[in-house]
Structure formats: structure tokens, C-alpha cells
């Protein structure tokens, strides 16, 4: 048991070091190494962490989706706690996507907000997962809350591919297609240095997500355990 | 330029705020542990 905990501590420390060095490298790549866009200027560099935040939010919701299915099969309470931790981080990063997107919009399009397909579907996504927590908190029975939020997490995930495909389906004039047929359409596509910086930022954000997920899950599990002990003691008193 | 710096500041501020929130929840649990200890002592006093 002690050996297992020691390994765990080493793993967390290594992940922490990897995260800090990765984040510093990402900042160096963005601020210094990556070329400045000829048309948009330095503001284009907002895009690296903006896209990385969006990726992290999608990953978080995908995990909520998968864990929701697993929970409905095996009814393991820890799985539900992990899903709720992931949804919480998903909300954090969707909030960041909306704020950084708004800053991007102000500098590039001269508006803070516009009802463009991707912005609208992202805002809907944010509301969907806010509702996820409203559902969880409004139901007193923990088993019922876990079951309903799992079903909701599975259904809510439908909006994620819609957000991703929105600029392709509704042919957005503002959001360029970065991946896929971006270069062919001559409206998106990236230079190799820009693509490398973006992929590096996405990798660092994935590590950050795992770190936050672990921390948040651990805290939620402790809260659940403390509450359960308190309930048992109250019954005895 | 200001939007560029604002973006990166906002991202780091929000991540730190989230970490502070988790830390705050941990502290609340420590308080809960104290109240559990008191409850156990009460139970032991009764028996």
C-alpha cells in the first residue's frame, strides 16, 4: 500500500513537472517562436490557447459521455464523481473559450459577440452543462441524481459534434476551417510552425486537464466520504 | 495587442481561480473532519 502511494506521488510530481515545463515551452513557442500572421498581426496568437481550451472542453465532455454510459452499466458511484469532476472542468474551459473568443471577435471582427453558428452552438453547450449541475444539485437522492445526470451527460454530448461541424454545415464566414480541408478552401490552414505550436499547446492543455481532473475528483471523493461518515454518525447520535 | 495579453491573462486567472476553489473545498472538508472528531468523542463519552 505504502509502495503504491509512493509510486502515485512520484507519478503526480512527474506530471506536475511536465505540466509546468510544457506550459513554459508553450508560452515561449506562442510569444516568440511562432510567426506573426501577416493579415491579423499578433492578435492571431490568441488562437493557440483558444483552440486548446476548446479541445480540452470537448475532451472533458467526451469523458462525461463515456463515464455516463459506464455508470449506467455498473452503477459505481466513483465513476459518477469522476464524470461530475470532468463536467466541471468542461464548464471552466468552455467559459474560457467564450471569453477568449469574445476578445478575438472584438479585435478581428470589431464585435464582442455575434450570433454566428460556432459561437451560438458553444453558448448552448455551456448552458447544457450548467444545467447538468442544476440537475445534480436539485435532486436529493444521490443515486437518482447520478443516474439522471449520467443520462443527461450522454444526451448533452450531442452538441459537441454540432459545435465542431457548425462552421462546415452552416458555412461560417467568420470562423476559418483550420483542420481538414482548410488549405484547399483557401480560408484556413496553418503554416508548419503555427501547426506545431497549436498541437503543442493542445498537448499541454491535455496534461493540464488530467491534472485538474485528478485534483477535482480526489476532492469530490473526499467530500462524498466525509458526508457519508457524518450521516452515519448523526444516525447514531 | 491588448486583446492578446488579455486573453492569456484571463486563461491563467481562471485556472488559478479554479485551483483556489478546489483548495477552499479541501479546507471545508478539514473543518468537517473536526466536527466528525467531535461527534466521535461525544459518542465515546456516552458509551
Q: Tens digits of per-residue pLDDT, A6-49?
A: 787 888 888 889 999 999 999 999 988 888 887 778 888 888 99
Cα–Cα distance measured from residue A136 to residue B39, given in angstroms and rounded to the nearest whole number: 29
B3/A219 touch (CB, cutoff 8 Å), yes or no: no
Task: Assess B19–A contact: CB distance below 8 Å, yes or no.
Answer: yes
Nearest to B14 among A92, A103, A234 (CB): A92
**What tens digit of pLDDT does each residue of A133-158 get?**
999 989 888 889 999 999 999 999 99
Looking at residue A187, its pLDDT comes to 47
Chain B CB within 8 Å of residue A208 CB: yes
Distance CA B47, CA B38 (A): 14
The partner residue sitting opposite B36, judged by closest CB among A53, A107, A226, is A226
The DSSP secondary-structure symbol of A170 reads T
- pLDDT digit string, tens, across residues A183-230: 444 445 678 888 999 999 999 999 999 999 999 999 899 888 888 888
DSSP string, A112-151: S----HHHHHHHHHHHHHHHHHHHHHH--SHHHHHHHHHH
Asked whether the predicted pLDDT for residue A97 surpasses 80, the reply is yes
Is residue A173 scored above 70 in pLDDT?
A: no
Question: What Rg do the C-alpha atoms of chain A give, in angstroms?
Answer: 20
β-bridge partners, A37: A41
Contact yes or no for A45 and B4 at CB 8 A: yes
Residues of chain B with pLDDT under 70: 47
Calculate Rg over the CA atoms of chain B. Answer: 21
Altogether, the residues listed in chain A come to a count of 237
Place of cell 457548425: A166
Contact A43 B36 (CB under 8 A): no
- How many other C-beta atoms are found inside a 10 Å radius of the C-beta of residue A135? 14
Supply φ then ψ for residue A139, to 5 degrees.
-105, 125
B13 near A CB under 8 A: no
Q: How far apart are CA A101 and CA A20, in angstroms?
A: 25
Closest by Cβ to B43, choosing from A45, A212, A236: A236
Amino acid at each position: 500500500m505504502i509502495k503504491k502511494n509512493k509510486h502515485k506521488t512520484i507519478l503526480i510530481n512527474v506530471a506536475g513537472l511536465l505540466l509546468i515545463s510544457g506550459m513554459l515551452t508553450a508560452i515561449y513557442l506562442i510569444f516568440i517562436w511562432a510567426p506573426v500572421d501577416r493579415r491579423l498581426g499578433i492578435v492571431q496568437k490568441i488562437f493557440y490557447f483558444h483552440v486548446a481550451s476548446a479541445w480540452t472542453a470537448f475532451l472533458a465532455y467526451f469523458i462525461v459521455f463515456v463515464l455516463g454510459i459506464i455508470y449506467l452499466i455498473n452503477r459505481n458511484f466513483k465513476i459518477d464523481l469522476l464524470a461530475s469532476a470532468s463536467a466541471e472542468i468542461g464548464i471552466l474551459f468552455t467559459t474560457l473559450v467564450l471569453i477568449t473568443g469574445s476578445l478575438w471577435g472584438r479585435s478581428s471582427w470589431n464585435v464582442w459577440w455575434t450570433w454566428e453558428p460556432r459561437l451560438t452552438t458553444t453558448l448552448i453547450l455551456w448552458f447544457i452543462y450548467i444545467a447538468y449541475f442544476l440537475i445534480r444539485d436539485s435532486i436529493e437522492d444521490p443515486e437518482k441524481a447520478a443516474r439522471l445526470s449520467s443520462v443527461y451527460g450522454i444526451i448533452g454530448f450531442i452538441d459537441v459534434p454540432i459545435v465542431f461541424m457548425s462552421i462546415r454545415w452552416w458555412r461560417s464566414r467568420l470562423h476559418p476551417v483550420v483542420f481538414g480541408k482548410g488549405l484547399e478552401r483557401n480560408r484556413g490552414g496553418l503554416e508548419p510552425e503555427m501547426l506545431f505550436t497549436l498541437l503543442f499547446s493542445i498537448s499541454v492543455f491535455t496534461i493540464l486537464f488530467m491534472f485538474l481532473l485528478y485534483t477535482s475528483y480526489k476532492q469530490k471523493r473526499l467530500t462524498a466520504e466525509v458526508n457519508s461518515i457524518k450521516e452515519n454518525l448523526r444516525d447514531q447520535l | 495587442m491588448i486583446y492578446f495579453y488579455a486573453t492569456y491573462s484571463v486563461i491563467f486567472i481562471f485556472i488559478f481561480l479554479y485551483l483556489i476553489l478546489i483548495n477552499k473545498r479541501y479546507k471545508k472538508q478539514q473543518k468537517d473532519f473536526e466536527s466528525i472528531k467531535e461527534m466521535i468523542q461525544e459518542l465515546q463519552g456516552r458509551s
